[in-house]
Amino acid sequence: MTADVELVGHPAHSVARGGEGLDLRGRRVLVTGAASGIGQATARILARLGADLVLTDVAPLAETQKQIEALGLRSTPIQGDLTDDEFLKDLVERARPFSFAHCAAVFSRDTWRPELSARARFDLLMQVNVRAPMILASACIESMAERGGGFIVLVGSAAGRNGGGIGGGTPIDYAASKGAVHTLVRSLSRRGVGRNVLVNGVAPGPVETPLARGLDFPPESLPLGRIGQPEELAWPIAFLCSPAASFISGAVLDVNGGAFVG
């Protein structure tokens, strides 16, 4: 930081006056779901802000690493399964993050994991979309509080707001899981804010990611006439991971091009 920047508030998430609030140099940020989509875009934006990245996904992370290296930076990949409790515990202990962005999610369809029963697919969806962020964020609150504070961002969905998304095509279990994520944001905020850990969320509308492939979003149903790009979610997530968000906690930011207002 430059010498003329004035810092106020707790040192872990001080307000930077002088345009440095988004500076994440020297800060470690954990990003889940980093192999593609919103998670991959979030990793790129955080890297541009100088963050020291720890990336995780059940899928290979080589492409995301390559994109970050193209920016002249390095990252630490930790490939693993978010349904594995031992992996979740180890992940937070290894990362010890200043900020945590949970972007991982699964989206159930009849063609998703066809070897599983409908009940097993539902249980898996809830494990990844709800239980994993609950466990990881709870552990991050403890870890961050010991070091003075930090930031947590959970990715919800407009479907968690309105129950079905644009055109009503979103599966009911996915909508329910994202409504649960929004509740997690509020509950975790109450647990963390007094310990200088600020917990927030973002609620995307339709975004061009692998998760949304095969879904139909008629342009006339979208106020901007198009779906979002991953980077348009990544910037708000990065903001909420930074000292620029030093007085925000318990909020779920709607990032959906005006598709949901409420």
pLDDT in tens, 67-105: 999 999 999 999 999 999 999 999 999 999 999 999 999
pLDDT tens-digit series, residues 30-43: 999 999 999 999 99
Read off the pLDDT of each residue in 126-146 and give the average, rounded to a whole number.
Answer: 98
For range 136-144, the mean pLDDT: 98
Average pLDDT score, the chain: 88
Name residue 100's amino acid.
F
pLDDT mean over 132-149: 98
List, by residue number, the catalytic residues. 174
Mean pLDDT value of segment 227-250: 96
The answer to whether the beta carbons of residues 36 and 174 sit under 8 Å apart is: no
pTM: 0.89
Mean pLDDT, rounded, for 13-17: 49
What pLDDT was estimated at residue 109?
A: 66
Q: Which domains does the chain have, with CATH numbers?
A: 6-255 (3.40.50.720)
